[in-house]
Homo-oligomer: A and B are copies of this chain.
Amino acid sequence: MPGHFADDLTAAIIDKHAPVCVGIDPSYDRLPEPLKQKFGDDQVGALREFCTEVIRAVAPIAPAIKPQIAYFEVHHGPGVELYFDTIALARQAGLMIIGDIKRSDIGSTAQAYARGHVSGKNCPDAVTVNGYLGSDGLAPFIDEGAPDGRGIFILVRTSNPSGAVIQDFADASGKKLYQHMADQVAALGQGSVGSSGYSRVGAVVGATYPDEARQLREMMPEQIFLVPGYGAQGATAADCAASFKPDGTGAIVNASRSIIYAYDKNPDADWRQAIRQAAQAFATDLAGAVF
């Protein structure tokens, strides 16, 4: 039975009472020492066990994970295999998966990306994409994802300091580029709205600018927002709440390093338990601010 990404994610968030996503950004250098020792030179093997344990720890708590493909790609072919295996494992564990790939290209090349990342074997439920090349680069992802109801999140407003140099570029009326991008995203998503009232076409909106998030929430009523910036990047749960509608739907907040490396702050604890506790604290914090 074909799903619909926005409907399924909205239901999963309500089900777990947790509007959160755990980002899996596994850097070999930061893995727990016991894991590094166990696997010796087999870096990908150590990463595999780490990803497996992170999924096990967070599956009862969070509705979704967001593997960041860059940390897999640095290990070339075997790393990319692990990325897709991690997706398969997360799906078995009942998690939804947002592949953080931020791809961008046009025409037949965008279609090749979409076939590899949206409609192929072990593909995630949604991916992130970059809209600088316009709708030519986005439509193939929407179209390829249609049979399985898969989603995309288009970068609108990123959470990093220098993003503003590009994204705040403003026209004569004062409209900024990220707002112009938001208009494009809202238009692109109109044909793909599910029973939840949300589209398979969502938006990435950084939590570090809550006033802008409130405005974007008005401009894109049918978009689910993927919200980075909580934790390591400094945004609070209250900042993140600006991306949600009053009924508590419409967004999912991501935290990566502050969860999966939680053992850094408590080196004497079991690292799996530290991850689980951090995920629980993250979910509780956000649920309190949003629901």
Contacts and interface: CB of A to CB of B under 8 A. Distances in A.
Interface of A: 25, 27, 68, 70-71, 73-81, 84, 102-110, 112-113, 115-117, 120-122, 130-137, 155, 158-167, 169-172, 177, 180-181, 184, 257
A133 B106 CA distance: 19
Nearest to A26: B112
How many copies of the chain does the oligomer comprise? 2
A71 B27 contact: no
A117 B73 contact: yes
A134 B180 contact: no
A247 to B, nearest CB: 31
B107 A136 contact: no
Contacts of A177: 166, 169, 177
Contact of A165 (B135, B155, B164, B171): B135
A166 B132 contact: yes
Given A80-B77, A102-B103, A170-B171, A163 B134 contact: yes
Tell me which of A25, A158, A180, A181 has the highest count of chain B C-beta atoms within 10 A of its own C-beta.
A158
B133 A75 contact: no
A133 B109 contact: no
B77 A84 contact: yes
A206 to B, nearest CB: 10
Contacts of A133: 155, 158, 160, 162-163, 166
B158 A106 contact: yes
A25 B109 contact: yes
28 contacts: A27-B112, A68-B105, A68-B109, A68-B112, A73-B116, A74-B120, A76-B84, A77-B80, A77-B81, A78-B81, A79-B116, A102-B104, A104-B155, A106-B160, A106-B163, A130-B130, A131-B166, A132-B155, A133-B166, A134-B164, A134-B166, A135-B165, A136-B163, A166-B177, A166-B184, A169-B171, A169-B177, A169-B180
A-B complex: 4 closest residue pairs judged by Cβ atoms: A77-B81, A134-B162, A74-B116, A70-B112
A229 B169 CA distance: 27
Given A132-B155, A170-B171, A171-B170, A73 B113 contact: yes
Contacts of A70: 103, 105, 109-110, 112-113, 116
Contacts of A158: 106, 132-134
Contacts of A172: 170-172
A112 B72 CA distance: 9
